[in-house]
Structure 1
Amino acid sequence: MANSPSGDSMLDRLVRILSSFDLNNQSLSVSSLARRADIPKATMYRLLDELVSHDLLARDGSGQVRLGLRLWELANRSAATQDLRTAALPFMEDINQLLGQNTQLSVLHQDEVLIIERLSRPGSVVNQANVAGRMPVHRTSMGMALLAFSRPETIHGFLERHHELMTDAHPELRAEMAEIRRNGFASFDGFIDPETTGAAAPILDEAGYQVAVISVVVPRDSGTLQSAALALRTAARGIARALRLDNI
């Protein structure tokens, strides 16, 4: 696409506009959107009209801007995500019923944990994971399980880009990943919320590398971690089998 006078392409601008919205900013004024996307306000008004006409953005009566329904429609056509979600949902429902806690399905994307699905549960502990939300790899059991079971080149690339983790949050990061691989699951106490423990098991492909992870958050020191880990590992194997059957 043609470049603007500033040198960025129209696609660059579109991505910045859509990326300006997050869980804490689901609705923005035109001025806020222009500022967050680093686009001149006059240009933003012009682009906004086009994006609204294609239902990629929506504007309410007060002039606030939100993501449009067409984005949801397009996102839900992703075959890989849909296959994964379809295979995982029955197992997630079993875990949700068994443990009485919220259950998540996540993947590793752009050095972050991307939440694909979450089943909520009344009375469950605090859980920061939200569908389509992102969470840090090194502070979540989901992220560490995904990283530990990634291909060697993925692990190497992540550590090259985030070498500070080796001396800051996780000075023994390689040893931690080795332990996760030995145990077949990851668990973290109180990294996100001090009163909870996260547990996650990887869903592995035929070569033994992660394609996703299934996880729960349980009360810290509740004594349920081992049963949660066993249930997650069993579910992860079932999802892997379902995915392979679907691909035959």
Structure 2
Amino acid sequence: MVDTSGPPPNSVLGRAFTLLTAFRVGDAELTLAELCRRTGLPKATAHRLLAELADWDVVERTPTGLRLGMRLFELGQLAPHQRGLREAAAPFLADLFEATHETVHLAVLDGGNPPEVVYLHKLDATSGPKVQSRIGGRMPAHCTGVGKAMLAFSPRSVLDQVLAAGLTRRTPRTVIAPGLLDRELAAIREHGVAEEHEESTVGIACVAAPVLDADGRALAAISITGWANRLDTRRFASAVRTAALGLSRTLRASR
């Protein structure tokens, strides 16, 4: 993921991606002034780059600002690994949704520094909480069920990157002590499931399981999410793990 917190990059391509990654969850559109504020780019530079991006339909102009364009969505659909993973996962996610009636997620870890959770698919429960996640959205790995499920079955170097970046506290229950997180990941490796209780969002609970390759390393993770005071994570752990195991077998067979 591009870091927009520091000075803007020098290359034209880097500056263009800085503008695109300035859009955040919930940003239907942004003004030129807001994009300049978030990226640190001069107004004239941002205006020139956005005009060219608009010519390629990567961004679209609106009467009050700019929004991400349809071309980005089209390019995203061409990513072969994510598309194949979503297609293979679809029946398992649907079965899990029918069995639990809770919000279902499919997620992967990206290759950034630090690695973050990226959601590839989501089935929203009509009676569940409004979860902040969205397809293509990102969340920290250390405080999400899917993130911890994948960290537990990833190379140590992946966890080291997460720890080096610092464990940010998102709620009063977020685990920010490296030793505590290490012990929790060991328990996840033992039981095959991860739980989250109001660590990423107050009022939300989650149970997740990793999707593993033939070497036992995480390819993705599946989870269900619901109200913390209603979701019985132990009761549904078996259903989530069964879905993840089924997808793991399917992916191994296809490869």
Same fold (TM over 0.5): yes
1:128 aligns with 2:129: no
CA pair 48-125 structure 1, distance change in 2 beyond 3 A = closer
1:204 aligns with 2:198: no
Counterpart AA for 1:66: R
Of structures 1 and 2, the larger Rg is shown by: 1
* Residue aligned with 1:88, SS: helix
Counterpart AA for 1:175: R
Matching residue of 1:20: 22
Post-superposition, which runs of at least 4 consecutive aligned residues in structure 1 deviate over 6 A?
none
Match of 2:181 among 173, 197, 203: 173
Match of 2:121 among 117, 137, 159: 117
Distance 1:140 1:52 in 2: 35
RMSD: 2.2
User: What stretches of structure 2 of length at least 5 have no aligned partner?
Assistant: 1-7, 170-174
Matching residue of 1:48: 50
Q: Is the 8 A contact 1:103 1:216 kept in 2?
A: yes
* Residue aligned with 1:104, SS: strand
Q: Is the 8 A contact 1:218 1:225 kept in 2?
A: no
Q: How does 1:230-245 map to 2 (within 5 A)?
A: 230-245=238-253
Matching residue of 1:65: 66
CA pair 113-7 structure 1, distance change in 2 beyond 3 A = closer
* Residue aligned with 2:25, SS: coil
Matching residue of 2:141: 137
Q: Is the 8 A contact 2:194 2:209 kept in 1?
A: yes
Q: TM-score, normalised by structure 2?
A: 0.87
Deviation, 1:235, is 0.6
Deviation, 1:15, is 1.1
| Percent identity between the two aligned chains | 34
Q: Is the 8 A contact 2:207 2:225 kept in 1?
A: yes
Q: Is the 8 A contact 2:167 2:177 kept in 1?
A: no
Distance 1:126 1:170 in 2: 30
Number of paired residues?
A: 241
1:136-188 CA-to-partner distances (Å, cap 9, x unmatched) read 212211111111111122223333333788x9455412111100100101002
